[in-house]
A and B are shown apart, each in its own frame.
Chain A
Amino acid sequence: MSNSRPTPPTATAPPSSGHPSPEDLVLFAMQLFPVEQAETIERHSAHCPVCREELGRIHGDLAAVALTADPVAPSDAARERLLAQVAREKKAVTAAASKSALQPAPKPTPEPAPRPLADFGRGKGSTLIPEPVVIASSRRPPIYEWVGWAFAAAFAIAAVVLYGRHRTLEESIATQASEIQRLNARAADSHQLMDALTDPQAVRATLTPKTPPRGPIGGVTYNPQKGALVFLASNLDPVQVYKTYELWVIPADGSAPIPAGTFHPDEHGSASVIMPNLPKGVDAKMFAVTIEDAGGSDKPTKPIIMAGS
C-alpha cells in the first residue's frame, strides 16, 4: 500500500490504487480484521490523509450506530466504584508528590562570601565610591539567621497546607453540587414514573400465555393520554443471541401495531420496559410481545409470545 495516489477511496477504486477499499476501511474501523491485515491498513492510514479523513467519517457513523443501543443507566454502585477508584489514584499521585517534597533537599553549594559594601559600584573606571569601609559588626550571630529561616519555612508549610485544604474544599463542594444535580434528575424520573403508575386514567393489563401454565407472564400499565407505559415480565425464556423480545401496543382504532421497545430477560427470566417513546393519545386494544431480530422490527413477527388487554 502506498500513498502515491491521493484519490479518495471509492467503491470502484481497484485494489491497485494503493488505498484500502472503502469496504475494508469500514471493517478496519470496526476492528473486524485479523491483526496482520489491520496492521497493514493502520500503517497505510498513518501516512494517508485521505484514508484518515474517511476513517474519521466512519467513526462518526459508528458513533451514530452506537446511539441505537437501548438507553440503560448504570447502577449507583458503578458510579461510586469509579469515583472511589479515581480518588485512590489521585491520592496515590498526591502521596507520591508529597513524598518527593519531603525528600531532603540537596546540600546547597556554599555561596561566595558577600562582597564588602565598598565593592558595590567599584567597577572599572568607577570614581563615585568613597574609600572602602568594611562594617564587620553588621554580621548577625548565626542563631538569628536560623530563626529567620525557621519562620520562613513555617510560613511556607502553613501556606501549602492551607492551599491544600482550600483545594479539597473546592473539590468537595463541586462533587456535592454534581451529586445534587444527579439526584434531582433521578427524582424527576421517579416522579414521572409514579405519575404514570398511579394515574387513575392508566390502563392495566395482565399478559398471560395461551397454553403453558408455567410460561412467561407480563403486566402493563399504560396511560394513553400521556403515552406512558411500564411493562414488567417474568418467566421469560432466554432468546438467541441475534434475537430480542419486542413489546407492541395494538391500537384500538385498528391501525398498525406500535413498537414499544425491545428487551432481554435477565438470568432469572425477568425484564422490563420503562417509559418507552410512544405517541400520546393512542388508545390500546391490547398489548403483545413477539421475538424479533436484534434491534427490533417495525412490525410484529408471529408467533405472539404473550398478549393481553
Chain B
Amino acid sequence: MRSMNSEGKTASAPQPAAGEDASLLAELQSGNQPAMATLYDRYARLVYSVALRVLREPAAAEDVLQEVFMQLWRNPDSFTAARGSLGGWLAVVARNRSIDVLRRRRTATSIDNLPLVAPGNLADEAERNTLMQRARATIQQLPREQRKTLEMAFFDGLTHSEIAEMTGDPLGTVKTRIRTALLSVRKAFRP
C-alpha cells in the first residue's frame, strides 16, 4: 500500500550542516560504511519518492534507490561538492535512472560531469521540507497545460514528440511550455 507521509514533522535530532555532505563523501572515499548509512538516511526518502513517482511500482523504485546509492558508494567521485547540491544531484539521477527503467534503455548522456545549481540546502531536513512545499505550490500555480506538459516530460519521461502526439499540441508549443514552466520554478527558487 502506498502512503503519503507528512513532511511537516519536527525533527528532534540536530540538523546537519550543508557542508557535512562533503565530509561524508570524503569518508566514502575511504570506505566508511557509517557515512554511507548517514547519507542514505538523509536522502533515501527523496530518491525513493522520485523513483516511485516515475515508476509507480515500489519494488522497481527500491531497485533504483539501491542502484543510485550503490553508484555513490562505488564511485563517490561521480559527485563532487563543487558541482552543487548532493540532494539535488541524487534527485535528478534518480529521476533519470527511473526514466531509463521505464523506457527500458540506458542513459544516453550523464549529468556526472555537469554542475547543478542547487535550489537550496537539501541536507537540512527542515529546509528540505520548506523547499518541497514551495516547489509544490509553484507547480500548482502554473497554468494547467504547462503543469501537465512538464509532468508528462519529467515524471513520465515522454518526449516532446510523444506529448505533442498525445495532446494534439504543436511540437514548438510543447517545447516552449516545458521551458516556461521550468523558468517559473527557477524564478520561485532564485528570484
Which A positions have Cβ atoms within 8 angstroms of B?
11, 22-24, 26-35, 38-39, 42, 45, 52-53, 55-75, 78-79, 81-83, 85-87, 89-90, 93, 171, 174-175, 177-179, 181-182, 184-185, 188-189, 192, 241-242, 261-266, 268, 270-277, 293-296, 298
Contact = CB atoms under 8 A, between A and B. Distances in A.
Contacts of A32: 153, 157-160
Given A72-B3, A72-B49, A78-B65, 9 more contacts: A24-B175, A33-B159, A69-B52, A71-B132, A78-B48, A85-B66, A175-B33, A277-B6, A295-B147
B19 to A, nearest CB: 18
Nearest to A59: B116
The 8 A-B pairs of least Cβ separation, nearest first, read: A174-B34, A63-B88, A275-B6, A56-B115, A60-B117, A69-B53, A66-B91, A23-B175
A268 B147 CA distance: 29
Contacts of A85: 66, 70
A64 B92 contact: no
A94 B46 CA distance: 31
Contacts of B34: 171, 174-175, 177-178
Interface string B163-178: 0000000000001101
Contact of A70 (B36, B49, B96): B49
Contacts of B88: 59-60, 63-64, 66
Given A31-B109, A69-B52, A72-B45, A63 B118 contact: yes
Given A23-B178, A27-B178, A66-B92, A82 B33 contact: no
A67 B73 contact: no
B185 interface: yes
Given A62-B95, A64-B135, A241-B156, A181 B4 contact: no
A79 B4 contact: no
Contacts of B147: 293, 295
19 contacts: A29-B111, A52-B115, A56-B115, A59-B89, A59-B116, A63-B122, A64-B119, A71-B46, A78-B48, A78-B66, A79-B40, A82-B66, A174-B34, A174-B37, A175-B33, A178-B38, A272-B3, A273-B3, A295-B155
A226 to B, nearest CB: 11
B144 interface: yes
Contacts of A42: 109
Contact of A188 (B12, B40, B92, B138): B12
A265 B109 CA distance: 33
A97 to B, nearest CB: 10
Nearest to A271: B2
Nearest to A231: B4
Contacts of A29: 111
A182 B114 contact: no
Contacts, number: 282
A209 to B, nearest CB: 20
Contacts of B49: 69-72
Given A71-B7, A90-B31, A56 B175 contact: no
Contacts of A296: 140
B124 interface: no
B141 to A, nearest CB: 8
B3 A64 contact: no
Contacts of A262: 4
A38 B114 contact: no
Nearest to A55: B114
B76 interface: no
Contacts of A264: 2, 56
A64 B183 CA distance: 11
B42 to A, nearest CB: 10
A207 B44 CA distance: 34
Interface string B109-137: 10100111111001000001001110110
A39 B183 CA distance: 24
Interface string B1-24: 111111111011100000000000
Given A184-B12, A294-B148, A65 B154 contact: yes
B107 interface: yes
Given A59-B115, A178-B34, A65 B62 contact: no
